[in-house]
C-alpha cells in the first residue's frame, strides 16, 4: 500500500490597517490681543458713549447692550468729542491714541486715553 500525502500549506496573511487621526494644530500666526489698555471713551453702534478701563477687547454698551468692538474696530471719542474709528486688527494692545480729526487743516491730536 502506498500512501500519498499531500500537504497543503496555508499562509495566513494578517493585514491590519491603522487609521491615524491627525489633529494639526492651527498655527496661530495672529497672536495679537486687539485690545485697548487704559481709560478710553468708546462709542457704541447706537452712538452712546461708555468709558472702558484696564484691558478691554470686548465691551457691551451699558445703555443698549450693543458690542462696541465690531470687526476688531472700535470707535474712540477724544476729549473734544470727535469720533475716531480705530482698527485694532493689527494692534496688540493700544495704550495711546491721538485724535485724527481734522478741522480747517488742523489735526485735533488730542490724546484719547485717560480723560
Q: Which residues bind Zn ion (CB under 5 A)?
A: 44, 46, 48, 61, 63-64, 66, 78, 80, 82, 99, 101, 108, 110
Nearer to Zn ion, 70 or 80 (CB): 80
Contact 112, 41 (CB under 8 A): yes
Q: Tell me how far, at minimum, the Cβ of 97 lies from Zn ion, in Å.
A: 10
Q: Tell me how far, at minimum, the Cβ of 47 lies from Zn ion, in Å.
A: 7
Nearer to Zn ion, 46 or 58 (CB): 46
Q: Tell me how far, at minimum, the Cβ of 28 lies from Zn ion, in Å.
A: 32
Alpha-carbon span 102 to 115, nearest angstrom = 20
Contact 57, 34 (CB under 8 A): yes
Nearer to Zn ion, 93 or 108 (CB): 108
Contact 108, 100 (CB under 8 A): yes
Q: Tell me how far, at minimum, the Cβ of 59 lies from Zn ion, in Å.
A: 10
Nearer to Zn ion, 33 or 102 (CB): 102
**Pairing status of strand 40-43 against strand 49-52:** antiparallel
CA angle 84, 89, 92 (to 5 degrees): 95
Amino acid at each position: 500500500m502506498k500512501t500519498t500525502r499531500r500537504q497543503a500549506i496555508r499562509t495566513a496573511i494578517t493585514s491590519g490597517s491603522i487609521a491615524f487621526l491627525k489633529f494639526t494644530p492651527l498655527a496661530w500666526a495672529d497672536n495679537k490681543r486687539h485690545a485697548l489698555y487704559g481709560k478710553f471713551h468708546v462709542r457704541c453702534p447706537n452712538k452712546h458713549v461708555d468709558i472702558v478701563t484696564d484691558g478691554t477687547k470686548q465691551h457691551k454698551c451699558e445703555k443698549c447692550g450693543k458690542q462696541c468692538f465690531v470687526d476688531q474696530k472700535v470707535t474712540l471719542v477724544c476729549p473734544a468729542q470727535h469720533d475716531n474709528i480705530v482698527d485694532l486688527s493689527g494692534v496688540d494692545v493700544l495704550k495711546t491714541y491721538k485724535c485724527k480729526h481734522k478741522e480747517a487743516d488742523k489735526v485735533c491730536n488730542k490724546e484719547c486715553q485717560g480723560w
